[in-house]
Each structure stands twice: as C-alpha cells, then as structure tokens.
A and B are shown apart, each in its own frame.
Chain A
C-alpha cells in the first residue's frame, strides 16, 4: 500500500473539554488507507470512530498528528477545501432545496458551468436510480430514497475519498441489506476510496476490504474481515465480532497450555502466566466422551435450520457454545456427556 495511500493518518490525538474534565477521544491513532479501498472503522459508540471521520472531513481539528489526503497535508485545512465528501448519519439533505439542487450544490460551489452541472447531476442521480425524483423535496422521499440522494450528492463532485458516517443505521433491516449491496456496487463503479464508520460488525465484515476495530480511542486490530474474524488478537475484538468462547488458561514453559483440570494442550504461545484462549463456536467439534480435548456436559441444543447450536457446561464451570453444521446426526439428550475437540489451529491466544 505504500506510495498509494489515499488517506494517511499519523499519530492523531484528540481530546474534548478542558482541564480536568477533558476526555481523550483519540489517542495516537495511525492508519494508512489505500487507493480505492473500502475501509471500515468498527467499534461501539464512544470508541472514537466518528471523531476520526470528522477529523478527516475537517469538522474538528486534531490536537496532534497529521492527516494527509492524496499525499497532501490537510491537517489544518477547513472542510470546504478538502477533496472529501461525507454521507451523514442523518443524511443532512437541505430541506429547502430540491433533490436536483441538493446534488448540484457542491458543483455550483466549484463554479462549474450550468449545463455541465445539469449533466453531472443527472449522472449522479442515475447512478443511485433516483433521476425520476429530481424535482422533489427531501421531505417527500422515504428514508431509503433520502439515503440514495445523500450518496449521489456526496459522489457528484467526485471526491478522492467518500466518508460514510453510519449511513445505514436509520434504515430497517431489509432495506439495509439492499443498500449494503448497492454501496458495494457503487464503490466499484465510482472507483473511489470509501471510509465507512459503523458499529454493526456484520455490516463491516460484509462490505469491507479492511476493517479497523476501535475501542477507547485506539485501533486494537486492523486487517481484512477474515483475519479479524478468524484471528482476533485482542479479547475485545474477539468478543465484539460474532460469537466466541473465551477460556482462561495458563501458559506453561515448553509450549504447553493448561486449561483447568489438568488438561494440557501443546501450542506455541510465547507467553507466560494467565492467558485467554479464544475459539469460535463453529471451529470446535463434538466427539465421543474421552476422545476429545476435554469432556463436557450438554445443557441444551437449539435447532437453527442450517446448524445446531449446543450449549455445553465445562468441568471447571462456565459454558461453551458449539455450532454443528451436520444437522442430520441423531440429536443428543440434554445432560449427556460429550467430548469436546479443540483443534489447535482454531485456538487463539489473546492479548487482554
């Protein structure tokens, strides 16, 4: 990615408030986002993701650090001189202007000729399939239609980077799924870098080329969705994305891990003392009692259609979720003893 960074964020810190009541929202954050990448900032509310987006848009100024877009240092540049456009969570369509005037707003500000504006607005509306609504006011549109107009308005000036601040969160589930697909297609068509902010992990995994998981003003882990899901490095990341089993374990010398009750596993870990082991429910397997890594008791099984979700009780107390795709097997009775196999390649040793 080096040399082709669309957005380069280096050592950015930002606090709100003054003196003792100051809250540090971003703490020494650095990210490089590549040309034409669909990059997502994922995290719970208050993690700093929206603030980072607002810093890139220019609505807030960083206390420290550098923001460069297309290789140009824009840290102190006001928003109206930055080659980025934003899709707001509330859409922020101008209520006193028509759809057409909203989409043409930036082009007019750029001093584009009238007929050129007209054709550019037409193209943008065509792209989001809203050209038949050009003369309407935003208040006459449904939420999904407003969303499309907001996208067209932000794309019309052909920004270097499109910033999207939880743009789908106001839509109902069905519409959100449709818009996810459209967003992905739009990005491919427009060939623009997308920087997307969301708290919805599924949305992040579906859409992104890369995801940065944020918490407490830090980026905990950054990588392709598959890596974030399958190889989380932090307990928070593992817990935040999808279902996961966390087991307390002790790292022993000689690449051994002890999981309570004297069960030890051979595993390269490079740590010492107490650690947390993580394993996804679909990566563990049921075996005959005694044949797995350890034995457990079945509390109950839930039928999910495409899979069975077993809830197990571990010998040391604590529960374990196991997702079994082979539904055809004979159902197990609650309370029966089962063996639990934990493949070494599915286990992750996490940072706290």
Chain B
C-alpha cells in the first residue's frame, strides 16, 4: 500500500515538523531582535551577535568549551578506534564488550555525573577542565565508536590480506592500508564526539571549577538572571555549529570507499 494515499498525511507531517522545530525557530528569530526583553519584538538587528563577540565571559566560556571538546573527542576517538579494531574480527563476547562501551548512551546522565563528582572528590581530583576532560572522554566513546565500527565492518578483509601478501607486516598494513581506509569513519566519529562534548551541560555543570565555565553552563547561569537576546544569539551560534558538524559527520561516514 502506498503510504501517501493515507488521508491527511501531509497535514500530520507538517504538524509534527512544527512541533519539533517551532521552539528552535522562535529562538533563532528572537536572536535578531533589537529589544532588550527577549520576548518583545521591536525591529531586526545584529546587535546581540556583536555583544557576544565582545563579552569576555562568553569568550572565556567558548575557549573552555573548545579545549574540552577537542581533548575529549581526541581521547574518545582513540579509545573507540582501539575498541573497534579489537572487536572487529571474530572477537569472542563482542556483544558484551559493545554493551559496556555503549553504556553511556543508556545510563541516566545525572547519575553518572553525580557518581563521577563523588569519585573525583573522594580521590581528591581537583575539579575543573582536567576532571571535565576525563568525564567527557568516557561518555563520548560510544559516539566515536559507532561510525568507526560501521566503516570497519564495511571494509573488505581482502585489503589487509592483500597488503600482507605484498610484504607489509601487521604494523605497516595498519599504517598503509587500514588507517587510510578508516580515515573518514575516524573523522566522522571524532566530529560526533566533539559535538556531544560541546553540547553537554550536566556533567560539565557538576565538574566545573572556578574559571572553567563552559558555554552551556554559562547559558544556564545567565538565564537565571533573565532571558536576554544575548542568550538567543549564543544559542543560535551553537545550534549552527552543531548542525554543521553533525552534517559533516554524516557526510564523512557516507563517503565512498
């Protein structure tokens, strides 16, 4: 049966789309509002975008967020690559290993965040960027793992056999064949991990120390002082960056082999 023949398919679809995207649309539109009060429209302006560029707290938070996202994405991608390579071929109990790796996707983040905080306090780890990098690396692993594994799965075993047949030992085979062929998957995984870390609020909120506020944490604290179009502007910038990066990741993982 042709699903398009169902009555009102178009109307229902439009409603669902509106339900999903109207809030985001409102946020984006009001980021171009000149009025101080975020919810009253006066006329269009780019003022607030200018403001966020010169606001030192936002600048500092942005730098922190970027450092954190880069470090966590590099760590998570490294672990994910090793795990994907180890579990790729005829690995016993691979299901169990993957379940453990993917746990951060299922566990309530608040629980993990609190647990991490308690552990760090108990161990005397100083809260701040270092602690955040450790925690972010852990929960970013599954996001980096999935694209890498998908790439590895789709890669014919015969390339590696051919390399070994042509006198490349295991290490040389990895460097000259496996790694270059996996590269798009690794980049896709890195990008996803990066975005995941960039967007994270809960874990960062619990583990941030003095002077290590990230952008989401900054937005949260600023909003308690009242919603301003400045928040709308930063949120819009973050939204655009996230969408771009996720699209990039999607594009990379679909690259032809």
Contact = CB atoms under 8 A, between A and B. Distances in A.
A16 B167 CA distance: 26
Given A80-B169, A105-B176, A109-B172, A92 B164 contact: no
Contact of B162 (A78, A81, A86, A157): A86
Given A96-B180, A109-B172, A80 B167 contact: yes
A191 interface: no
Contacts of A90: 156, 158
Interface in A26-66: 57-59
A183 to B, nearest CB: 19
B180 to A, nearest CB: 5
B153 interface: no
A109 B167 contact: yes
Contact of B257 (A59, A88, A95, A153): A95
Contacts of A236: none
Interface in B10-54: none
B166 A85 contact: yes
A94 interface: yes
A145 B184 CA distance: 27
Contacts of A80: 164-169, 173
A106 interface: yes
B246 interface: no
A94 B168 contact: no
A92 B167 contact: no
Contacts of B165: 57-59, 79-80, 84-86, 154
B184 to A, nearest CB: 10
Contacts of A94: 159, 162-163, 177, 181
A341 to B, nearest CB: 52
Interface residues of B, number: 20
A269 to B, nearest CB: 48
A21 interface: no
Given A105-B168, A110-B167, A79 B177 contact: no
Nearest to B177: A94
A106 B164 contact: no
A222 B158 CA distance: 29
In this complex, the member of B176, B181, B257 whose beta carbon has the largest number of chain A beta carbons within 10 angstroms is B176
Interface in A157-207: 157
A77 B162 CA distance: 16
A232 B109 CA distance: 72
B161 A106 contact: no
B90 to A, nearest CB: 11
Contacts of A96: 180-181
A165 to B, nearest CB: 9
B156 A92 contact: yes
A88 B162 CA distance: 8
B181 A153 contact: no
B167 A157 contact: yes
A59 B172 contact: no
B172 A79 contact: no
Nearest to A104: B166
Given A78-B169, A88-B162, A153-B166, 14 more contacts: A59-B164, A59-B165, A80-B169, A81-B167, A84-B165, A86-B162, A92-B161, A94-B159, A94-B162, A94-B181, A95-B181, A109-B166, A109-B168, A110-B167
Interface of B: 156, 158-159, 161-169, 172-173, 176-177, 180-181, 256-257
Interface of A: 57-59, 78-81, 84-86, 88, 90, 92-96, 105-106, 109-110, 139, 153-154, 157
Nearest first, the 5 A-B pairs at minimum CB distance are: A106-B166, A92-B158, A109-B167, A92-B162, A79-B164
